[in-house]
Amino acid sequence: MFAKNWFYSITLISIMGLAPASRAGDAGQKPRSDDAASRPVVTTTVGYSVPDVQLVRDDGKQVSLPAEMNDGRAVVLNFIFTTCSSFCPLSSQTFREFQQELGPDRERVHLMSISIDPEQDTPARLRDYAHKFAAGPGWQHYTGTLAASLAAQRAFGAYRGDKMSHTPLTLMRAAGAKTWRRIDGFATPSELLSECRQLLAVQ
């Protein structure tokens, strides 16, 4: 529909925040900053085809993105960069708490964080970052060539032109499933948990 390789079928849109996203600065308006008190979270079900690109995992190994995503576990994915000072730390903190709250289900979920600043984010820097956020064994960070990172970002509709324009986004998928839950906005750990448990239930 929009592109050859992926179809976009919105089966459900739920607004979990207090109000819909108001885009500051749109239509020539002066930006209203403090009105972002609302925390719009939009969940969509979308089909994505995972691009066949090679990434470099935080342990320095070259890996295939589809292979990393098809290892029998559910996947929870986000995009970060390690020198982001504003909201990546919050996204990563949310991932850590989500991973901890998974409890025994932790083994069934693969958390993946792909760098959108791969030239800066070497495997060593990703390891430091993962350590800072106390990432458990089931949570890996990925870098690679700029082209590979861009391919991954584009495939999941996460590309915003440059790293400074990124927006909070989490994607999750049951093991082997074709469709993804796309969560735009800042979901809390418990919101992620509730989405993920639904996926694990059908897995």
Partner 1 sequence: MMDWRAVCACLLFGLGSSAGWTAAQPAASAGEVMYLYGRLASGAPLEATRGVGGATKGAEIACVKCHRRSGLGMKEGLLVIPPITGQYLFHSRHAAFEEAELPYVESARANRDSYTDATLTRAIRQGIDSDGNPLGYLMPRFALGDADMKGLIAYLKELGSGDIPGVTHTVLHFATIITPDADPVKSRGMLDVMQQYFADKNTFPFPPSPHMRSSGKTLYSKSMYMANRRWQLHVWRLSGPAATWTRQLAQDLAEQPVMAAVSGLGGSNWVPVHEFCQREHLPCLFPNVEVPPVANQDFYTLYFSRGVLLEADLIANRISEPGAGRSVNSVLQIYRAGDSGAAAAQVLAATLTARGITVRNEALAIDASVQRLNHALRTAAAADTLVLWLRPADIAALGEVPMAATAPAAVYLSGLMGGLENAPLPASWRSNTRIAYPFDLPDHSRVRVNLPLQWFSIRHIPLVAEQVQVDTYLACGLLAETLSHMADTFARDYLVERTETMIEHRMMTGPYPRLTLAEGQRFASKGGYLVRFAGAAGTKLIVDREWTIPQ
Would you tell me which residues interact with partner 1 (CB under 8 A)? 21, 23-25, 30-39, 60, 81, 83-87, 89-90, 93-94, 97, 117, 119-120, 122-125, 146, 160-167, 186-189
CB of 65 closer than 8 Å to CB of 152:
yes
Question: Which residue number, 50 or 144, has a Cβ lying nearer to partner 1?
Answer: 144
Q: How far apart are CA 152 and CA 65, in angstroms?
A: 8
Question: Which residue number, 39 or 108, has a Cβ lying nearer to partner 1?
Answer: 39
Task: Kindly state the helix (H) or strand (E) to which residue 93 belongs, with its residue range.
Answer: helix 88-101
Residue 29 identity (one-letter amino acid): Q
Question: C-beta of 85: minimal distance to partner 1 in Å?
Answer: 4
CB of 22 closer than 8 Å to CB of 32:
yes
Question: Which residue number, 82 or 109, has a Cβ lying nearer to partner 1?
Answer: 82
Question: Which residue number, 73 or 163, has a Cβ lying nearer to partner 1?
Answer: 163
Question: C-beta of 171: minimal distance to partner 1 in Å?
Answer: 17
b/e map of 147-157 (b: 16 or more CB within 10 Å)?
A: ebbbbbbebbb
Question: Which residue number, 49 or 83, has a Cβ lying nearer to partner 1?
Answer: 83
Rg (CA), the chain: 16
Nearest to 110 by CA among 118, 98, 94, 120: 98
Task: Kindly state the helix (H) or strand (E) to which residue 63 belongs, with its residue range.
Answer: strand 62-64
Question: C-beta of 7: minimal distance to partner 1 in Å?
Answer: 26
Q: How far apart are CA 106 and CA 102, in angstroms?
A: 5
Question: C-beta of 119: minimal distance to partner 1 in Å?
Answer: 4
Question: C-beta of 100: minimal distance to partner 1 in Å?
Answer: 11
